[in-house]
Amino acid sequence: MSAAQPLDHVLRHNTWATVTLLEFCAALDPVTLEMSAVGTYGTLYGTLQHLVGAEQWYLQLLTGDLLGRPRIRRTDRHPLPELATTASLTGARVLEVVATDDVTRRIEMNEGRGSTVGVILAQLVHHGNEHRAQATTILGANGIEPPPVSGWGYGRATGISEAEE
């Protein structure tokens, strides 16, 4: 695989890691999804809903399109396979954005705020990693070994690299 755009692997890792986490969590006892840990965002289920819903919003800011309607909220109860489908859709579309968009282009957000495309992309990467880390913290705090969702894990899963921690 050749990384066509500078952020290509970073964004592919983001989508792979979110889908890997969702598939892992979908195989757990549903009771686990209601678990939380102090200092995190909320329940595991709510964190996953928010993780994917935010990426819908970032993509909507970038393109005007909402993929995987309706917009997913933290308090929603969408099945995890549905979240994985939406994460894959938004992830694929973001790759198209970085191939064509201008990072300095200004976008209107909410409450009169504006941002550049570059900052929204940085936020998307930050946000995905932040909430996956919270999800793995919840899993670890409740005695469940989290799935490997690092950049190294992405490299191994895609056959690009054999690097490990």
Q: Which positions lie near another protein, rule CB under 8 A?
A: 2-3, 5-10, 12-13, 17, 37-40, 98, 103, 109, 112-119, 121-123, 125-134, 136-142, 149-152, 154-155, 160-165
Q: What is the dihedral sign for C-alpha 157, 88, 102, 106?
A: negative
- For the chain, the first-to-last Cα distance in angstroms comes to 22
Nearer to another protein, 45 or 154 (CB): 154
**Nearest distance in Å: CB 22, another protein:** 17
Nearer to another protein, 29 or 162 (CB): 162
**Nearest distance in Å: CB 147, another protein:** 13
- Residue 161 · residue 152 · CB < 8 Å: yes
Nearer to another protein, 70 or 126 (CB): 126
What's the CA gap between 57 and 61, in Å, rounded? 6
**Nearest distance in Å: CB 133, another protein:** 4
Torsion of CA 59, 18, 160, 27, to 10 degrees: -150
**Nearest distance in Å: CB 35, another protein:** 10
SS3 breakdown of the chain: % helix, strand, coil, rounded to 5?
60, 5, 40
**Nearest distance in Å: CB 60, another protein:** 15
Nearer to another protein, 11 or 84 (CB): 11
Nearer to another protein, 71 or 151 (CB): 151
**CA nearest neighbour of 139 among 6, 21, 13:** 21
Cis peptide before 146 (omega within 30 of 0): no
